[in-house]
Structure 1
Amino acid sequence: MKIRFLLFFFALSFYSYSQNNVLVFQSDFGIKDGAVSAMKGVAMGVSTDIKIFDLTHEIPSYNIWEAAYRLSQTAQYYPAGTVFVSVCDPGVGTSRHSVVLLTKSGHYFVTPDNGTLTLIAEQLGIQEIREIDEVKNRRANSNESYTFHGRDVYAYTGARLASKTITFEEIGAKLPNEVVKIEYQKPLYNNGVVKGGIPILDIQYGNIWTNIDKKTFSNLNLKVGDFVSVQIFNGTKKVYHKKVQLVNTFGQVAVGTEVCYFNSLLNFALAVNQGNFSEKNKIYSGASWSITISK
C-alpha cells in the first residue's frame, strides 16, 4: 500500500509539472514588424501541435519591470504545464543568464534573468531553475546572430519544452533557486498608515493600480463612502496629496470626479470617472513610485 501511495504521489507530481503544449509569448517588440511573427514561426517549426497565445507585445521598450508585472498579472490563470516566453532584453549580448524557471505551481518561464522573474518568483514560488545550454538549445545556424535571442534561443527553447521535444532537465545546468530582483515597495500597514507601490497603470483608461490588497487596506477600518487621504511619491518627491472618496463603482460620483476603488485584482486603485487620472496628475508607474493611505 505504501509503495502504491508513493507511485501515485510521484505520478501526480509529474503530471503537475508536465508541459501541456501551450506556449505564451510576451515581448517589448510591438507588432509593427516581423519580429513576433518570426518567433512564432520558429515555434511552429519545432512542432505544429503547439497552441500559441500572446500575453502582450506592447511592453514599453526596455521596461523590465512592466514585463515582470504582466507575467504576474496573467500567468496564474493558465493551467499548470504552460510555457511562457518573455523577451524584454535590453542586456542582450551581455553576461545576463538565459534561464527557464519552473514554479511550484507547475508553470515554466523562459526569459533572461534580468528582473523579469521578480514577481513570479514571489507569487508562484521557485521549484527549480535551469540555465539554457545554448549549444544544445539554440536554433540551427543562428550562431552568428547576437541580437535576437528571442527568436534564436527563447522561442526555440520554449517551443521544444512546450512540445515535450526536450525535458526540463535537458534545458541545461541547474542553478540556485534565486533570481535577479527589482526592488519595490511592498504593501504594509504601520501605525495607522498603509503603504504600497504603483506597479502598473490601467493603461487604456489611465487609472492608477497599486499593489495594496484588501486585507492590508482593511487595517484602516474604512468603508465605502468614506474619504481616504492619499499621498503619492516618485522616489522621495511627493507629487500628489488629496482626500479621495472610496466607491464601489464609478457611477456613484459625477463625471470628472477623482475616486478610489478596488480593481479586478482586488487591489486599491485610483481613477477619474470618465477621465484619465495618470495624465491629469502626471502620475505614472514603476518600482520608483509609492503611495501612502490613511484616514
Structure 2
Amino acid sequence: MHPVITLTTDFGLNDPYVGIMKGVILNIAPDAQLVDLTHQIRPQNILQAALVVKTAHSYFPKGTVHVVVVDPGVGGVRRPIGIKNNGYWFVGPDNGVFTSVIDSQALCYELTAEKYFLKDVSTTFHGRDIFSPVAAWLAQGKTLRAFGHKIADPETLDWPLPKFDGKTISGEVIYVDHFGNLTTNIDAGLLEGVFEHPESLEVQLARKTLKGPVNSYSEAREGSPGVIINSWHALEIFYRENNAAEKLKVKIGTPVRVTQAR
C-alpha cells in the first residue's frame, strides 16, 4: 500500500504554495498518495484547523501522515513539531493545531534535524522547507527520533466547552462550513445525557428560537432554518437551501442556548 499524506492549510488554491509542498513530498516519497483535506481554513484560524484534525484524521488508514500548516507564528519562536498517536503521524507548527491528538499516549518531538529539511529554510514557508520533507521521510519509514528530541510541553488550545446549569446548555458556534451551516460545541452525547427528550428541544441563537432537531435537511421548510445533529455528532443550525451564517448574521463565537421544549 502506498503511504498516505494529507494536507490541511489556510493557503487557498489561488497561489502555488500547496502545489510546491506536493512537489517537495514527491521528490522524497514518489509513491505517496497525497490527499487535500482542505486548503480553505480561514487565514490564521488555528481553532478551525484543530477541529478539522479532530474530526477527520481517524477516517484515514493507520500510518497516515497528517500535515497541517496554519501557522501565523512561522519563523518566530513557535516550534516545528512531529507527533505520533494511535498509529497516526502529525506534522506542523506547535501552536495548538494538534490539541485533539495530544494526550498521555502521544509522542511529541520538536523537529530540529536540519539534514531532513530543505536547504536554506525560509522564515516564511516552513510548509515547504520543514513540514513537507519531514512528512515525506516519515512516509518513507523514518521514525520521529530521527528528526529531533522529545518534548513534554506541546502547545494546546483551550477548547470552548459548553456549560449546563441544570436546565440550559450554553454553548457557541465553533465552525462555519462552505454552505454556511453552523456547527456548535454541543454534541449529541451531551444532549442525550442531560435532556429527557433530546429529540424535542428549543435552540436559541441570534434572537431566534428553533425547534428540533430534525432527522434530515429536507425536513425543514424550504427557505427556513432548522436544527440537526450533523456528521460530527454535533448540534448544527442550518438554513434549508440557503446560508445560515449569512441569513442569521452569525459567526464563530455566537452564543447558543439549548433547553427542553415544553
Match in the other structure for 2:120: 142
| 1:70-124 deviation per Cα after TM superposition (whole angstroms, max 9, x unaligned) | 1112101012211111111111110001000111x111110101121122326xx
Tell me the distance in 1 between the aligned counterparts of 2:144 and 2:256: 40
Q: Does 1:204 align with 2:194?
A: no
For residue 227 of structure 1, report the CA deviation from its aligned partner: 4.6
Number of residue pairs matched?
259
Closer, same or farther in 2 for the Cα pair 1:229/1:24, shift >3 Å? closer
Letter in 1 for 2:31: D
Of 250, 253, 259, the match for 1:283: 250
Of 113, 125, 149, the match for 1:173: 149
For residue 129 of structure 1, report the CA deviation from its aligned partner: 0.3
Of 102, 121, 129, the match for 2:102: 121
TM-score (norm 1): 0.81
Deviation >4 Å, runs of 4+: none
Match in the other structure for 1:267: 234
For the Cα contact (< 8 Å) 2:107–2:150, is it kept in 1?
yes
Paired-residue identity, %: 28
Closer, same or farther in 2 for the Cα pair 1:20/1:221, shift >3 Å? farther
| 1:19-61 deviation per Cα after TM superposition (whole angstroms, max 9, x unaligned) | 9721111111112121111111111111212221111111111
Where in structure 2 are the equivalents of 1:143-158 lying within 5 Å? 143=121, 145-158=122-135
Match in the other structure for 2:27: 45
Match in the other structure for 1:70: 52
For the Cα contact (< 8 Å) 1:20–1:163, is it kept in 2?
no
Structure 2 unaligned regions, length at least 5: none
Match in the other structure for 1:30: 12
Match in the other structure for 2:223: 256
Q: CA RMSD in A?
A: 2.0
Tell me the distance in 2 between the aligned counterparts of 1:119 and 1:199: 15
Tell me the distance in 1 between the aligned counterparts of 2:64 and 2:220: 42
For residue 261 of structure 1, report the CA deviation from its aligned partner: 1.2
For the Cα contact (< 8 Å) 1:278–1:284, is it kept in 2?
yes
For residue 241 of structure 1, report the CA deviation from its aligned partner: 4.4
Match in the other structure for 2:209: 242
For residue 268 of structure 1, report the CA deviation from its aligned partner: 1.0
Tell me the distance in 1 between the aligned counterparts of 2:172 and 2:147: 35
Letter in 2 for 1:244: K
